[in-house]
Amino acid sequence: MIKLRKDKYSNMKQILPLIWITVLFAFPSKKEFSEAFIEVASNGNPAVVSIISEKVIKQRYHQFFSPFGDQFPQGEYRGHTLGSGVIIDAEEGYIITNNHVIEDAEEIKVIMFDKREVRATIVATDPPSDLAVIKVEPGGLSTVKLGNSDKLNVGEWVVAIGSPFGLHLNHTVTAGIVSAVGRSSVISRNNFEDFIQHDAAINPGNSGGALFNLDGELVGINTAIATDGYSRANAGVGFAIPINMVKRVMEDLISDGKVTRGWLGVQIQDVDEGMAKALRLKERNGAIISQVIKNSPAEDAGVEEQDVIIAVDGVKVGDSSNLKNLISSGRPDDKTKLTIIRDGHERNLIVILGTRPGEKELAETFRYGEKLFDVLGLRVETLENVDGKEMGVDSLDGIKVVDIKRGSSAYDNNIKRGDIITEVGKSIIKNKNDYKTELDAYSEGDTIMLRIVRNGSPLYVAFEIE
């Protein structure tokens, strides 16, 4: 037995050096580590551009601000701002950047890595996500491979490329690590924010520039830095829009000129310690429903106030901002599974997402607890106890216009309170359900024709929905 132990110990002494050699060679050498960054810079630089926008500049100081390239006192003046962008389609000449880089620009100039200067036009913008797509004439352009930002890990190395402080420093390459993911409420709670936080140095002028992983894949668009409120320089806290969100937004901007987002129709808030205790929750993840909008997708699906949504299609919900991003990343008519906790018990609900209204309409909807005006700008009600003969016709079905939104399509085309809508297109309207069903087939830019009865006389009205 003693001899066997000695032989075993002797064998271990021979194996240990081999283990150490294996471990040693498993890690990259200093040269190999440097070459990874060199390769990312070499491949990424040609696809990153500098963007000069001529505009009226309004400068503001805030603890969190978007890194512009202007260096002037507070106030309003005409001048140039500097930002960055990334070529995402070399064949078509599409470039992704931040909305704030080109917002209100009267002229946009793009400077390539090879120092060519070309003019650009705006394809479309999406202020809520601070993204924009601009276009240049294709030819001699380089592009990048898009990564998967959902696979980013905290502590992972990333490389930023942009034009901080001025054109004399364009295509500056910096490196750092991912400090956090899923950051929200950085710039505004009203925006769609799901930022990658990192400590690669970015400064004024880096806005719209690239954030790469060490595989050379584009994983984010640099957007903002955090400072102490006095300095405009980098303090090691930068934020990038994850590329998965960028993909979703830019697809809509290129194909439709606007972003169409899913909508649930609820007011939500974070779960605090008191709520978790009162609702018998095991943890504080999720978002609590504080209001369910009438006739919304949420109401139709059976969502109730005090429900806590903890997952969307199996993806866990961290807080209210996370839930807003998950729902808005869906599309209208998507069949979506909500996992909720109600009365201490977990259950699943299936909801058919609606179309998220514009910000003004959304504020109005939450204020009154229902969507007051439809896509035409009308508020209607089903006819009750109305004798057709009193209106000068033999019989009368339809819906009555009770209010009109000033400045809407219906308002501009002389629809009046008291008008009775009896047809939409070629479909007869008998009640609000008929009207809603027909109207769901229309959206902004479509032309609609209504048959109405006004003061006993039928007439047709046709107009484009704005």
- Amino acid 274 reads G
Q: Which two tokens stand for residue 347?
A: 């259950």
Q: Does the structure show a pLDDT above 80 at 367?
A: no
Q: Which two tokens stand for residue 461?
A: 């009205």
Task: Please give the pLDDT value at position 19.
Answer: 59
> In terms of DSSP bridges, do strands 145-146 and 172-183 run parallel, antiparallel, or are they unpaired?
unpaired
Catalytic site includes residue 62: no
Task: Please give the pLDDT value at position 12.
Answer: 57
Q: Does the structure show a pLDDT above 80 at 461?
A: yes
Catalytic site includes residue 207: yes
CB atoms within 10 A of CB 37: 15
First to last CA, the chain: 91
CA distance 396 to 423: 11
User: Is the Cβ–Cβ distance between 297 and 265 less than 8 Å?
Assistant: yes
Task: Please give the pLDDT value at position 188.
Answer: 79
CA distance 357 to 371: 9
Return the higher-pLDDT residue of 225 and 62: 225
Return the higher-pLDDT residue of 383 and 354: 354
Q: Does the structure show a pLDDT above 70 at 15?
A: no
Where residue 150 falls (left for φ over 0; alpha for ψ -120 to 50; beta otherwise) is: alpha
Residue 114: partners with Cβ closer than 8 Å, 6 or more residues away:
46, 140
Mean per-residue pLDDT, 16-25: 56
Whole-model pTM: value is 0.74
Mean per-residue pLDDT, 283-296: 90
CA distance 108 to 457: 54
Q: What percent of the chain has pLDDT over 90?
A: 55
**What would the pLDDT profile of 33-78 be if each residue is shown by its tens digit?**
889 999 999 999 999 999 999 877 666 554 544 554 444 455 666 7
SS3 content of the chain, % helix, strand, coil (to 5): 25, 35, 40
Among 144, 164, 154, residue whose Cα is nearest residue 222: 164
**What would the pLDDT profile of 409-439 be if each residue is shown by its tens digit?**
888 888 998 899 999 998 999 888 888 888 8
Task: Please give the pLDDT value at position 40.
Answer: 95
CA distance 247 to 229: 32
User: Is the Cβ–Cβ distance between 63 and 226 less than 8 Å?
Assistant: yes
H helices of 230-386, in order, are 243-256, 273-278, 297-301, 320-328, 359-368
User: Is the Cβ–Cβ distance between 40 and 159 less than 8 Å?
Assistant: yes
CA 258 to chain centre: 11
Average pLDDT, the chain: 85
**What are the strands, taking DSSP E only, across 60-194?**
64-65, 75-89, 94-97, 107-111, 117-126, 131-135, 145-146, 157-162, 172-183
What letter would DSSP give residue 152? -
Residue of 50, 84, 100, 409 with catalytic role: 100
Task: Indicate the range of 62-76, 187-201, 246-260, 313-327 predicted with least confidence.
Answer: 62-76
Q: Does the structure show a pLDDT above 70 at 10?
A: no
**What would the pLDDT profile of 314-346 be if each residue is shown by its tens digit?**
999 999 999 999 999 999 889 999 999 999 899
H helices of 91-204, in order, are 99-102
Catalytic site includes residue 343: no
CA distance 57 to 287: 38
Mean per-residue pLDDT, 369-397: 68
Residue of 66, 84, 130, 408 with catalytic role: 130
Task: Please give the pLDDT value at position 7.
Answer: 54
Task: Please give the pLDDT value at position 69.
Answer: 47
Task: Indicate the range of 152-156, 261-265, 369-373, 425-429 predicted with least confidence.
Answer: 369-373
CA distance 46 to 205: 17
Give kind and range of the element (H or E) at residue 44.
helix 30-44
Task: Please give the pLDDT value at position 195.
Answer: 94
153 pLDDT band, cuts 50/70/90, is: very high
The three-class DSSP label of residue 329 is: coil
Task: Indicate the range of 181-185, 239-243, 364-368 predicted with least confidence.
Answer: 364-368
Residue of 207, 321, 328, 329 with catalytic role: 207
CA distance 424 to 408: 18
Q: Does the structure show a pLDDT above 90 at 310?
A: yes
Q: Does the structure show a pLDDT above 50 at 4?
A: no
Mean per-residue pLDDT, 20-33: 65
> In terms of DSSP bridges, do strands 145-146 and 217-226 run parallel, antiparallel, or are they unpaired?
parallel
Mean per-residue pLDDT, 158-178: 92
Task: Please give the pLDDT value at position 26.
Answer: 60
**Sign of CA pseudo-dihedral 193, 161, 257, 65:** positive
Q: Which two tokens stand for residue 3?
A: 């001899």
Q: Does the structure show a pLDDT above 80 at 13?
A: no
Task: Please give the pLDDT value at position 231.
Answer: 66
> In terms of DSSP bridges, do strands 238-242 and 157-162 run parallel, antiparallel, or are they unpaired?
unpaired
**What would the pLDDT profile of 102-127 be if each residue is shown by its tens digit?**
999 999 999 999 999 999 999 999 99
Per DSSP, what are the bridge partners of residue 183?
195
Task: Please give the pLDDT value at position 269.
Answer: 94
> In terms of DSSP bridges, do strands 335-342 and 345-352 run parallel, antiparallel, or are they unpaired?
antiparallel
Widest CA span in the chain: 116
User: Is the Cβ–Cβ distance between 116 and 149 less than 8 Å?
Assistant: no
CA distance 27 to 38: 18
Give kind and range of the element (H or E) at residue 331.
none
User: Is the Cβ–Cβ distance between 292 and 305 less than 8 Å?
Assistant: yes
Task: Please give the pLDDT value at position 433.
Answer: 84
Task: Please give the pLDDT value at position 386.
Answer: 53
Task: Please give the pLDDT value at position 75.
Answer: 62
Task: Please give the pLDDT value at position 22.
Answer: 58
CA distance 460 to 258: 31
